[in-house]
Structure 1
Amino acid sequence: MPLKFVIACIINLFCFTFLVSAQQTVIKGAIYKRISSVKLTEVLVTNMRTKGVTECDGLGNFSISANVGDTLLFTKRDYTPQKQEATNYGMIVYMQPEVRLNEVRVIGQTKKQELTEIMGDYRKQGTFYNGNPPALSMLVSPLTGIYELFGKTPGRAKRFAAFSKRELEASAVDRRYNKPLVMRVTGVTDSVTVQKFMEYYRPSYEDLKTWNDYDLIQKVKTQYEYFKKNGDKDGLQKLY
């Protein structure tokens, strides 16, 4: 093979590598509420190609590593997700607030309403403290306090109150931590793998009370990387 040809191939390969790396840049822009000059905060920006995620700052501005032409996904709670192609000049992104119908809200609250109604039935049967009477109740109303401590109905009410609390907290976790979120963050499309990961890792209700969406996504990424490396091993210990 002629030496000139080899040198030409090396030069072409170097130039190609340089051009590809040069395309990766920092894309910047601002995010607004649609048909207004109001800038939005707490918007997550995801590069759909690299799965890189960032959050816009308190002034509604963002910057993210991407190639020109990459698809960027903008998400914010109570707003419709927006996809936009990355450009090499200052991007302007408008997001539409979600329209929530009354019927949707009613359906979403059905479980809570049902549990509240059942708790109300227990109160109609004479239990007022869900089976956990305060100490002063024994002084103010001794008979009621004794009934709450030893009666069958208060005992059932106490167990149901604990069950109700677990159900409502589980529903709150499911609204934020679900298959679509895991698939988007990890890039995994196989539902079996996603299900196995979600069985391995599930954030607690207490965790989610203190995390914003960006915190949750970063935690999912960390947990999935650990799961991907060790998930097939027996007795995999959870990463906290």
Structure 2
Amino acid sequence: MKVRLPFITILLCLITISSIVNAQDFIVKGVVLEKGSNVRVALASITNLRTKTGVTSNDLGMFQLKAAIGDTLQIGKTYLNDQRILVLGRQDILIYMIRGSTTLNEVTILGSTKKQDLADIKRDFQSKGVFNGGKSSFLSAVFNPINGLYNLIGKDPKNARRFSRYADNEIKQSQIDVYFNPSIIKNNTELRGDTLEKYMIDYRPEFQKAQYWNSYDYIKYIKESSKKFIDTLGKGK
């Protein structure tokens, strides 16, 4: 004897299964752009309103965040109007933000990054005849002996070598700043004000450890280390 389930029962089962599947978290990827100019927006804050976790976009305006279908993402940037996006599927998301009407016309948002600024200074050294960061390779010393001698004893080459060391360190620290910054820490902890500043100084990750981290590694580190930091403050009272 065949048992026929009512149509409404089958429909409810399908809806339940669909809800379970859709509720599963996955990695949503996206790009934040300024509407009208298509300029990529760096360091925009993206927060999942359901999980209360957030990240910031990188120098190319790109981000990755854990979400589920139906979640709402809130995107914010100082000079742009806040935007909310509903996650409808696993496809990549393009987010267009509109410049705020209260922004003064004379305010110019410069597109240069710290890396570009450092590159400009390096080019300035090169324009003075200082090549290879103030270091002469064997072949350059052979084919350009005057430049090789200048790189060895000149004042600018010495400054170039010093700047090269500084630039390398700044680039490494900039990589950490993309994810270890007040915006992301506030999105994932209760730290504020002086306590936040002290935490950022005491628990700033070392580049040797953080150079291979992604946004989720940083968030995990922030949550775990901030808990240790708060516990330490409690013991110090």
1:177 aligns with 180
Preserved CA contact (<8 Å) 2:54 2:184: no
| Shift in Å, 1:155 | 0.7
Structure 2: distance between partners of 1:156 and 1:145: 15
2:223 aligns with 221
1:29 aligns with 23
Structure 2: distance between partners of 1:203 and 1:108: 27
What letter matches 1:130 in structure 2?
G
% of aligned pairs identical?
A: 25
What letter matches 1:194 in structure 2?
L
Pair member with larger Rg: 1
Partner SS, residue 134 of structure 2: coil
Q: In the superposition, relative to structure 1, how do residues 207 and 28 fare at CA in structure 2: closer, same or farther (>3 Å)?
A: farther
Ranges in structure 2 where 5+ consecutive residues have no aligned partner: 1-19, 31-45, 56-64, 100-106
Structure 1: distance between partners of 2:27 and 2:119: 36
Q: In the superposition, relative to structure 1, how do residues 49 and 119 fare at CA in structure 2: closer, same or farther (>3 Å)?
A: closer
2:165 aligns with 162
Structure 1: distance between partners of 2:28 and 2:108: 25
Q: In the superposition, relative to structure 1, how do residues 162 and 233 fare at CA in structure 2: closer, same or farther (>3 Å)?
A: farther
Ranges in structure 1 where 5+ consecutive residues have no aligned partner: 1-25, 32-38, 64-71, 85-90, 235-240
| Shift in Å, 1:182 | 0.8
| Shift in Å, 1:217 | 0.3
Structure 1: distance between partners of 2:171 and 2:96: 24
Preserved CA contact (<8 Å) 1:29 1:92: no
Preserved CA contact (<8 Å) 1:129 1:148: no
Q: What is the aligned length?
A: 183
By relative contact order (CA 8 Å, sep 6+), the higher-ranking structure is 2
Partner SS, residue 132 of structure 2: coil
TM-score by length of 1: 0.56
- After superposition, residues 1-240 of structure 1 pair within 5 angstroms as 28-29=22-23, 41-42=28-29, 56=66, 62=68, 74=73, 82=84, 92=88, 97-99=95-97, 107-109=110-112, 111-186=114-189, 188-205=190-207, 207-231=209-233
Preserved CA contact (<8 Å) 1:30 1:92: no
